[in-house]
A and B are shown apart, each in its own frame.
Chain A
Amino acid sequence: MALSAAEREAVCALWRKMGDNVGIYTTEALERTFLAFPSTKTYFPHLDLSPGSAQVKAHGRKVADALTHAVGHLDDLPGALSELSNLHARKLRVDPVNFQLLCHCLLVTLARHYPGDFSPAMQASLDKFLHHVTSALVSQYR
């Protein structure tokens, strides 16, 4: 179920288009996740989660950097994400279901901002990419 050449190109093309704005979209995705799925907030008792919070923005940038790093290493996601994978397994221990919720919100966010680019094929490519990222992040849970 590895990403095909076409799927990789689709993901890379969208990432090129987004340029420096990835952080804006991951922040919006986090805000949507916290609003639609309040149980996800329990992982962030140390953050101010009110809309517009600078801390959520900062966290959004972290997520954006990780995803951009992943896009640059589509040939070896487990390798590229191994430190983050350790962090999630040893320390953060985010229940895997929550990655799906965040991915859903990220896809909705990107669809809003890039409707012309968001064909069913693009959506499927991104969904598959995010699925691989999620797998890598939870791979060391047990």
Chain B
Amino acid sequence: MSLTKAERTIITSMWGKVSTQADSIGTEALERLFTSYPQTKTYFPHFDLHPGSAQLRAHGSKVVAAVGDAVKSIDNIAGALSKLSELHAYILRVDPVNFKLLSHCLLVTVAARFPADFTAEAHAAWDKFLSVVSSVLTEKYR
């Protein structure tokens, strides 16, 4: 599963706009994740997960920064995220199903903030892109 040229163009051109709200998008996506899918909180026993918590904000930034790295290296996402891939495989070991849940929440967040840009085509491209990112992050599990 690789991104077509059209899909890459959609992602990279939208990223300019999306990245201006990167930190708050990351934080909001995590809030949505923890609210809709409370079982995902089990991966963060060491965090204060209340809305507005400093740790939530810091982690949200990290997540979206990594998405940004993937966008900037959209022709070689596996290369760009290889360290993160190892981190998830050897240390974090997040069950793959949770990437789908977080991707869903990221898309809902982006859709709410950029309704005009988030056309059906953009939605499909972003869903595929996040699916590629998720695959890369879980590819070293076994």
Contacts and interface: CB of A to CB of B under 8 A. Distances in A.
A35 interface: yes
Interface in B100-116: 104-105, 107-109, 111-113, 115
B84 interface: no
Given A35-B120, A35-B123, A36-B123, A108 B35 contact: no
Interface string A99-128: 000001101110111010010110110011
B118 A124 contact: no
Most chain B beta-carbon contacts within 10 A, residue among A104, A105, A108, A115: A108
A32 interface: yes
Nearest to B105: A123
A118 B112 CA distance: 8
A124 B108 CA distance: 12
Interface string B88-110: 00000000000000001101110
Nearest to A121: B35
B8 interface: no
Contacts of A113: 115
Interface in A64-110: 104-105, 107-109
Given A104-B104, A107-B108, A115 B120 contact: no
Interface of A: 28, 31-32, 35-36, 51, 104-105, 107-109, 111-113, 115, 118, 120-121, 123-124, 127-128
Interface of B: 28, 31-32, 34-36, 51, 104-105, 107-109, 111-113, 115, 118, 120-121, 123-124, 127-128
